[in-house]
Amino acid sequence: MALACWSLCSGLSLARLSGLRTNRTTTGLLSSHLSCRSRFLLCRYYSSSKVRRGIGRYVSSKLQWANSKYEGLLKRKFPRFYQLYHTFVEGFKLLFQDAKDVRRIKAKMYSGVKFQDLPYREMEKLRQFRRDVIKAIPLVIISIPPFANYLVFVFMYFFPRQLLIPYFWTPQQQVEFRGIYNSLRARQHRPVLKGLEYTSSRVKEGQLQSRLKDLCTKVLNGGTPQVSEILAVRNLFSGPPLGMKRMSLDQMRNISPLLFLTPRLPGFLISRRLNSHALELLQLDRALTRLGPHQLTDSELRQACYLRGLNSDYLGVNQCKEWLSQWLQVSSSLKDSEVSLLLHTMVFLSANYPTGLKWSR
């Protein structure tokens, strides 16, 4: 016992004598030990991380191989089903990519950027995505009950134009369906022009009345008016009888299908929707003017013409550019209060372009 106490006291004395040296040595040994241990753990972590990445790459490569084999089988044995399958896969990719872009645009708007200040492509993507999502809502609701998804696939196969959004249309279907929608719009050209002719009799100023009648007669006889002829009657479209809030209900119902809006709603709802869509179209035109129409790709150019009432699928690029230039000349001259004229311009410029279609009176 005494020997043990003496040894302990000796150790303490040596420690006091060594002082700082003992602390440095102990600290050095401790830090060396911790450094070695941390290196070991780090190497172990990175080794396991590399293993996990290697397993992930292996599984991913096997899945891609299996998917390519499956697609090859479909392409050989069931070519029609493969086309639908491929369209859906690519459509979902585009849909998710556009959803990410829209979320980014929305974040920009939450930070204080207004819709009318967005660049043209962002404005157009936000507008189109919103309408596609609204169209997809009924299909989502139908698929909620158990086992209803099988029935939904049947509906989607037999009624793609009515139920599917353009992301899931084949290229042939896109051209075909746009042709159908354009034919539905073309049915409204004559009622819109006849409504204008009837309304012209209520115009008190003789010169404006004559100009409006001449404009309607020219289009009904198969001609396409000049920009100056359209702008010459602009004063009639800012107040009565053809302003957005002064038009007759029948005329609003005739115009609604031009924008693919249902005319089977109460008058105040039709007026509100027409005004909202017309202002949105005017803001798009202003953004396009800032960008410059020459910056559009061929597909964007055709889509811009289609949105504004022209069947552009069978026209040349130069014809589309010429028509869009005329449209923007009208649009850039209008105020917000004159957007009613912009909607009627969809008929003035597109009814007979470029074929010179003859109307029977």
pLDDT for residue 40: 43
H/E run at residue 317: helix 317-331
Q: Cβ(252)–Cβ(340) under 8 Å?
A: no
- Report whether 188 contacts 254 (CB < 8 A): yes
pLDDT at res. 230: 97
Over the stretch 243-260, which tens digit does the pLDDT of each residue have? 998 899 999 999 999 999
Sequence length of the chain is 361
Q: From CA 351, how far away is CA 188, in angstroms rounded? A: 10
For the record, the structure tokens of 86 come out as 């491929």
Low-confidence ranges of the chain (pLDDT < 70): 1-54, 56, 58-59, 62-63, 67, 69-71, 73-74, 147-150, 355-361
Q: Between vectors from CA 73 to CA 72 and to CA 78, what angle results, nearest 5°?
A: 110
Helix, strand, or coil (residue 321): helix
Residue 31 confidence (pLDDT): 43
> Per 3-state DSSP, what percentage of the chain is helix, strand, and coil (rounded to 5)?
80, 0, 20
Tell me the whole-structure pTM to 2 decimals. 0.77
CB 258 within 8 A of CB 343: yes
Q: What is the pLDDT of residue 355?
A: 55
Question: Which residue blocks in the chain are alpha helix, DSSP H?
Answer: 2-18, 20-77, 79-110, 120-142, 148-158, 160-163, 171-186, 189-200, 206-220, 227-231, 249-255, 267-291, 298-307, 317-331, 339-350
Residue 216 confidence (pLDDT)? 96
In this structure, is the dihedral angle defined by the CA atoms of residues 81, 87, 90 and 93, taken in order, positive or negative? negative
- Residue 217 CB: number of other CB atoms within 10 A? 14
Nearest Cα neighbor of 228 from 338, 342, 343, 333 is 333
